[in-house]
Amino acid sequence: MAGENPRQAAMRGDQWERIRQRLQSELGNATFNSWIKPLKLDVKPDGLVVIMAPTRFMRDWVNSHYSDRLTLHWRNEDAEISRVNVELGTGNGELHSIDVLKADGDAIEIEAPAPKVVQPGAKASSPVDTKPREAENEVGAPLDRRFTFENFVVGKSNELAYAVARRVAESSEVNFNPFFLYGGVGLGKTHLMHAIAHHIRQRDPERRVLYLSAEKFMYEFVQALRFRDTMPFKQQFRATDVLMIDDIQFFSGKDSTQEEFFHTFNALVDHHRQVIISADRSPQDLDGIEERIRSRLGWGLAADIHPADYELRLGILQSKAEKSGNITVPDTVLEFLAHRITSNVRELEGALNRVHAHASLVGREITVEMATEVLKDILRANNRRITIDEIQRKVAEHYNIRLSEMLSARRARAVARPRQVAMYLAKQMTSRSLPEIGRRFGGRDHTTVMHAVRRIEELAADDAGLNEDIDLLRRMLGA
Ligand code: ADP
Ligand code: MG
């Protein structure tokens, strides 16, 4: 293959470009920019490809989350390639390599020089001060002691943000600058930032960590302007090793504050100090923030937190309930809350606290009925359309059968009855027609659904147990 070098290289380059474009449309801009864009392609004289990630963390993350996709796309381009696996060294003179496994099974390991991981050493526009830290407590906001990594429950929706936060907290080098954390309200951004601060302060008390809200930053800045003395202001920020500014969307439209923030930011980044920023949206989406700042904010690593799914909501509730001591909250109530309160974690916590408070004040037992009553307003706000899917899942869970059995042709009573209950609820709780419901239950006829609905009505008339089941299911589903 040697000798075809330039042509091979150009061909690989084109393939990689096509793959990148496909990945961008599949993964979306934010994910693409964080993980795929920084990857570099190198082509060896024999036509083999080397994909390099600039940091170990990035390599691991790409390998565990995107290697299947990368492989798939590469194989589309070249059927000879059976697997693509990014493997990098630490960056300090160590070699980076990637295995490209040819279809015949020969592993070929290629080594490539390590790409630079250090920040570009541009000259600082304003020098970073190295004075002692006495100013820190004046501007920094206090940290919430409960906001630790230990108290943070990890699920699919926040695993990336959590992993990067831990990485930033544990590493004494600056790998991602800035670390940009974004997501909707009440999803744990502030919690993670405080957790990073706690961790660093504990591990390395010498490192100067400063956490504050964007609002506080602006307040301090305006104060400094008023007294016509911005030097101390500048100095105290530039003397930090780790600067965290929370809810930066607050800077929107506030031009001079943005300007000042940008100088501080650049000075710190140029000196390899860690900057951590949070916002309610991605850097690109920060309207009212200057374009050059937005683009600069996206240079590091952006990680988003999505709304928690059911499992995570339940996990968070269980963890909070465990810690809250003497009042026990039954599992059914936790499940009920996890099902019904979907907006954000803060509301979820609020609901649990309210139920708690009510139970201890009024001395009432905590039940689903009681929670329904106490949380009427929150529940209403969280109301949503119920799908046949959810009904099937919830009913299967309740009767401890598999979802596939719900849709199967099996007629054993242990499966047929729950199936009828699910059909009944689907008829009651959704606006789907009988034929539609039948289709969704493994392609059954609408008369089967009709029969199921009647049968359950009949049975429920004098079966208190069944009645209770239906009642509970309905509440779990959010009627
Ligand atoms: P944000 O800053 O994103 O608006 P917060 O960090 O203030 O949200 O989180 C709101 C509340 O929810 C806090 O009490 C926080 O401890 C809690 N919380 C959020 N996510 C989690 C989680 N994954 N595990 C445990 N508690 C969480
Ligand atoms: Mg917050």
Q: Which of 345, 348, 352 to mutate to test the pocket of ligand 1 (most atoms within 8 A of CB)?
A: 345
185 lines ligand 1 (CB under 6 A): yes
Does the beta carbon of 190 sit less than 6 angstroms from any atom of ligand 1? yes
**C-beta of residue 286 within 8 angstroms of C-beta of residue 249:** yes
Q: Residue 160 and residue 253: Cα distance in Å, rounded? A: 30
Report whether residue 157 contacts ligand 1, using a CB cutoff of 6 Å.
Answer: no
pLDDT at 478: 67
What's the 192 CA to ligand 1 centre distance in angstroms? 8
187 Cβ inside 6 Å of ligand 1: yes
pTM attached to this predicted model: 0.63
How far away, in angstroms, is 146 Cα from ligand 1 center? 10
What is the separation of C-alpha 91 from the centre of its chain, rounded to a whole number of angstroms? 28
The residues, any chain, with a CB within 8 Å of residue 306's CB and separated by 6 or more, are 156, 157, 158, 183, 187
Ligand 1 atom nearest to 319, measured from its CA: 25
Chunked mean pLDDT (size 10), the chain, 479 residues: 65 89 83 83 75 81 82 82 68 34 32 33 37 49 93 95 96 92 95 98 93 94 87 89 96 94 94 96 91 92 92 95 84 94 91 92 90 90 79 92 90 94 92 91 94 94 91 80
Q: Which residue has the tokens 């309207």?
A: 287
Q: What tokens does 105 get? A: 């099974």
Atom of ligand 1 nearest to the CA of 191: 6
pLDDT of residue 35: 83
Residue 210 confidence (pLDDT): 95
Residue pair 304/182 in contact (Cβ under 8 Å)? The answer is: yes
pLDDT at 55: 79
Distance 353 CA to ligand 1 centre (A): 14
Does the Cβ of 35 fall within 6 Å of ligand 1? no
Looking at residue 227, its pLDDT comes to 85
pLDDT value at position 151?
96
Taking alpha carbons only, the member of 442, 397, 404 closest to residue 423 is 442
| Among the bound ligands, the one closest to the CA of 192 | 1
